Amino acid sequence: MIKLKHVTPGGTIGIIAPASPSDSNFINEKILAFEDLGFNIKKGKHIYKCNGYLAGNDSERAEDLTDMFLDPFVDAIVCFRGGYGSVRLMSRLNTKIITTHPKPFCGYSDITLLLNYISNKCGFTTFHSPMINSNFKDPLTKDSFINILTDSNKDFSYDLNKLGNINILNKKDFKGRLMGGNLSMICSAIGTPYDVNFKNSIILIEEINENPYVIDRLLSQMIYSNKFKGCNGIILGHFTDCTLPDYSKSFTLEDIITQKLLPLNIPIIKNFPCGHSYPNLTLPIGCNLYYDSKNSLLTISENIFI
């Protein structure tokens, strides 16, 4: 893997909107709050654009992404938000430019396919992390984001003993390359050139605003597509608002996990705090992690940075 440069205190963060648009006042408000973390910022040229449900047309959004990788004064790239639209950029990615100008690229949700494809195709770690419109007033969210981008990651660990409602299923040690993110986005890429390769991996899954039957369907699609074959471990993040007021004609999310994932006999870290709720911890996509079941530590087991 290509090693990245750390973001130094006061470094410059490039901000792009590769998916959905936002109101200009909201964009400015969130950027001001992000600057309070101690970073300088550079806005993408088209960040204020609105084209239907997209933040500018496909060429404009792809141009902003490419420009941020090319810019020598930009130390890392953080997406403003998700929503929908990143998938429309996949065929427009200039992977040669990205590979020769590697730098941290951050986001989650709709950004999932960009994170996985860039990491796999271009050969460096990307980051499943909060975005500019996220709540950085949450201390664990803020500290995780800043620490992983600005500090040495040697022996960097997530102590699951301190993360609250963590539950381990099929408990045993495991290791592998972390891949994945939003469940709907993962499934949308199956059978396409941007299908996520989970061989010898740890699969990260999170979701928002989907009824339990939809989670059932999506996990079934992954199982029938052999996505869990050769997978060494599973990390289940937040499943935000994936509940119902009445379960008289529905399974619960717990039921679905028990029915669909538990029989795979793959170790599972359940309720890891990442995704569409808080805390939203930053995780390295494409990087090797090791889970020590005895001490309940999830450790980054390779150096991401120079």
Which residues 6+ apart lie within 8 Å of 91 measured at CB? none
206 catalytic residue (yes or no): yes
Q: Catalytic residue among 20, 22, 109, 201, which?
A: 109
250 and 216 in contact (C-beta within 8 Å)?
no
Separation CA 237–CA 269 (nearest Å): 8
Q: Residue 45: in which H helix or E strand, if any?
A: none
Question: Nearest to residue 220, comparing CAs of 252, 264, 182?
Answer: 264
Q: Which of 63, 206, 207, 210 is catalytic?
A: 206
- The phi, psi pair for 303, rounded to 5°, reads -80, 120
Q: Which position among 46, 128, 238, 276 bears the catalytic label?
A: 276
Helix axes 253-260, 212-224, angle to 10 degrees: 20
Give me Rg for the CA atoms of the chain.
18
Q: Is 35 a catalytic residue?
A: no
Instruction: Mark whether 276 is an active-site residue.
Output: yes
Angstrom distance (rounded) from CA 161 to CA 66: 40
Structure tokens at 68: 């941020």
Q: How far, in Å, CA of 258 to CA of 7, rounded?
A: 41
Cis peptide, bond prior to residue 193, ω within 30 of zero: no
CA distance 205 to 88: 22
Active site residues: 109, 206, 276
